[in-house]
């Protein structure tokens, strides 16, 4: 509720929440100055290293839908797309992840990194988003996920961590500001996907499970629509 007792307006791209605006500035700071609490230098902060682990799943979607263009929504510094040796699961060698995926173009967007902070125009065969959603405010999530769907012609792939991050914001807050159970993410994506039924979607939710040996491990559950 606002101070006058009225309900707050629905947040949107044109009118994001104050928390969203504040977080964008904090992430811009981290891209320039790194993560202070852990001593991670700027070059290694949000450099895109979380994407290759999802590479085989994204490759399967690319092949399934014949995708030629992709939007990486929340790409960080985008270094995951730099030329570098990549070994595919079948053992074949490639000069980079784009070559392995066999797509024509990957467009990077990240509001917290100035080289990629311009919202792209048009649509793309696929939209991918890794290690991003849990960094966004809960109150903005409907329009953010809706915007991601709006860019996608054929498919949308995202992952969402359901546990705290190792990184912290310059304020000392945990970098994962929206920590929700898998059911919450399922409802969010199902609601957004219902408005665009021709676009297939998959959200990979990650939870922490402790085994009999007392060791914690990440458990991934794919929810699809």
pLDDT of residue 98: 97
| Domain carrying residue 203 | 18-224
4: confidence class by pLDDT, cuts 50, 70, 90: low
- Whether residue 5 lies inside any domain: the answer is no
Average pLDDT value for residue range 124-130: 98
Check which CATH number belongs to the domain holding 185 and give it: 3.40.50
Share of residues in the chain with pLDDT > 90 (%): 88
Look at 27-36, 76-85, 209-218 and tell me which has the smallest mean pLDDT.
Answer: 209-218
Q: Give residue 35's Cα distance to chain centre.
A: 19
pLDDT of residue 210: 86
Q: Is 46 helix (H, G, I), strand (E, B) or coil?
A: coil
Q: Are strands 200-210 and 216-224 parallel, antiparallel or unpaired?
A: antiparallel
- Whether residue 64 lies inside any domain: the answer is yes
If one counts the domains in the chain, the total is 1
Per-residue model confidence as pLDDT tens digits over 26-51: 999 999 999 999 999 999 999 998 89
- Whether residue 9 lies inside any domain: the answer is no
1: confidence class by pLDDT, cuts 50, 70, 90: very low
Q: Residue 208 in contact with residue 163, Cβ under 8 Å? A: yes
- Whether residue 85 lies inside any domain: the answer is yes
Average pLDDT value for residue range 72-89: 94
Helix (H) / strand (E) element for 217: namely strand 216-224
Q: What is the reported pTM?
A: 0.93
- Whether residue 182 lies inside any domain: the answer is yes
pLDDT of residue 197: 95
pLDDT of residue 2: 44
Tokens linked to 140: 């903005």
Residue whose C-alpha is closest to residue 168's, from 74, 77, 26, 35: 35
DSSP state of 42: G
Q: Which residues pair with 204 in a beta bridge?
A: 159, 222
């Amino acid at each position: 509720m606002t101070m006058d007792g009225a309900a707050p307006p629905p947040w949107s791209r044109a009118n994001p929440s104050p928390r969203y605006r504040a977080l964008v500035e904090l992430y811009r700071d981290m891209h320039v100055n790194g993560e202070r609490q852990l001593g991670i230098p700027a070059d290694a902060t949000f450099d895109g290293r979380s994407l290759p682990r999802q590479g085989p799943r994204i490759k399967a979607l690319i092949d399934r839908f014949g995708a030629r263009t992709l939007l990486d929504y929340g790409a960080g510094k985008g270094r995951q797309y730099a030329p570098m040796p990549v070994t595919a699961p079948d053992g074949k060698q490639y000069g980079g992840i784009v070559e392995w995926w066999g797509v024509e173009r990957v467009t990077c967007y990240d509001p917290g990194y100035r080289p990629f902070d311009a919202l792209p125009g048009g649509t793309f065969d696929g939209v991918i988003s890794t290690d991003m959603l849990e960094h966004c405010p809960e109150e903005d999530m409907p329009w953010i996920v809706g915007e991601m769907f709006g860019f996608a012609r054929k498919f949308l792939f995202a992952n969402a961590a359901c546990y705290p991050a190792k990184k912290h914001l310059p304020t000392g807050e945990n970098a994962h500001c929206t920590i929700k159970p898998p059911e919450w993410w399922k409802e969010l994506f199902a609601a957004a996907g219902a408005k665009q039924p021709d676009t297939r979607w998959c959200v990979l939710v990650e939870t922490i499970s402790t085994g009999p040996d007392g060791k914690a491990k990440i458990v991934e559950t794919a929810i699809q629509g």
